[in-house]
Structure formats: C-alpha cells, structure tokens
Amino acid sequence: MVLYEDDFVIAVAKPNNMLVHHSFMARNQSEEQTLVGLLQEKFDKQFFPVHRLDRKTSGIVLCAKEKSFVSEFQALFIANQIQKVYYGIVRGFSPENGVIDSPVKGRDANVHKVALTHYETLATITLPIPVKPFPTSRYSLIKLLPKTGRMHQLRVHLNKINHPLIGDPKYGDRFHNRMFQTEFDMHNLFLHATSLFFQHPFTKEKIVINCPFPIDWKNIAARFEWSLV
C-alpha cells in the first residue's frame, strides 16, 4: 500500500514477516520475496530503501526513487530530524511513561551502541485467561518514540524493562505468545511503525505520513476496547 509519494521518495506499508530487502543478515533467504522486490514488480522501477524495519515489524518504510536521493533522507535519520512513532502491545502493566537508554548491540552483534527510546502507556487490560504462573493475564498498549535506530532496539528495550512485546519469538514471553496464538489465533509481532514526521530535504515541506494498522491490531483493539489513535 502506497502511503505517500512525490518526485523523490515513496512511503509504503510493510506487512509483518517480510524483509525490506535482501542483506547479509538474511543471506539464506535469497528466494524470499522482499518489499523492494514487490515495488519493482509493481512499478517496473528500482527503489532504494532509506531505512529498514525488522522482518517481523509492520509499518512505514521510506524508499528513494533514485540512488542519489538516499543520502539526503538518511541524513535526517542520522541527525534525529525524523520523528518516528511506533505502537506496541506488551506483557504486563507498563509504567505510565519513561525513557529507556540501555545500549543495544549493533548489526555485527559484537559492539554495543547507545540507544534511546521514549515511551507512553496508552491503555491496559486484565483478562480472565490464565497464563503461567498467574490466574489472569495483563497487557498494555504502548506508544514508542525511538530516538536512535539500532537493530531490534524497541524489542530489546521493552524486554529490558520486563514488558516484552507480544508475538516476539526472540525477546518475548513464550507463554503469553502462545496464549495469543491459541485464544485469538494471532501469531504476528505486535509492533507497528505508525507515523513519520519530517521536513522534506528537497522541497522543505513538512511531511506527515501515517500507516493504517494491520487486521490483527484492529481485531485485538476491538476485543480489548482500545482506541488506536
């Protein structure tokens, strides 16, 4: 789904469980369809990702229309001049708001780098569904504003404060993940890149891009009586 387009860049909605593009990290998935590959098929043109989302994360991805445009958009990310907003569903009742500044490993998986995430809890719910070792289960809807862009940053940070994302097979809680699978038939990671705000590096316009929530999000929000705004 195209969310925004001009002469320089296109913003599209990436679904869960899709690579943005092939990379060294996904070197064994050479036959797998990617977001960039789908765009090339649809428009018969090559696009150049400005940033990336984890395979399991859904939401907005910016792609430049020419390779020469990439550096101007990437400079905005490097200078923290693009405001990114994510929504997540986490285990337990997360604090009302806070800042997580725990370092996160880089893509080489050896060097820890500074990482900063602001968050705000928007809603909570207690369900009469037991999840080991408790007789009930509790969840929070959380808004996330990452100030850096490390690999798996939000997933790692939420695990660090003991409120891992639902559906996260690596950093999450397998008992709560299993409950969402068996009770709600929901298997995806509940992390969605909802909005981008920035000044266009070429036109100087103020750009606001929003991405609709996937169907799992809409279904769970209706069930929990949560507002996704």
Reading the block at residue 131, the tokens are 């999840």
Reading the block at residue 73, the tokens are 């958009």
Over the stretch 164-204, which tens digit does the pLDDT of each residue have?
A: 999 999 999 999 999 999 999 999 999 999 999 999 999 99
What is the CATH T-level fold of the domain 2-224, as seen in this structure?
Answer: Pseudouridine synthase (3.30.2350)
**pLDDT > 90? residue 30:** no
pLDDT for 109: 62
pLDDT for 108: 56
- Give whole-number Cα distances, 89 to 53, 93, 120, 203, in Å: 17, 10, 12, 36
Average pLDDT rounded to a whole number, residues 28-52: 87
Provide the percentage of residues in the chain whose pLDDT is more than 70.
95
- The answer to whether 40 touches 170, Cβ cutoff 8 Å, is no
Closest CA to 57 of 170, 193, 173: 193
pLDDT for 173: 97
Average pLDDT rounded to a whole number, residues 94-98: 98
Tell me the catalytic residues.
54
Q: What is the domain partition of the chain in residue ranges?
A: 2-224
Neighbours of 218 (CB within 10 A): 12
**pLDDT > 50? residue 26:** no
Closest CA to 87 of 182, 161, 5, 166: 166
- The answer to whether 178 touches 185, Cβ cutoff 8 Å, is no
DSSP H stretches of helix in 24-99: 35-43, 70-78
- Mean pLDDT, all residues of the chain: 93
Q: Whole-prediction pTM value?
A: 0.94
Report residue 74: phi and psi, to 5°: -65, -35
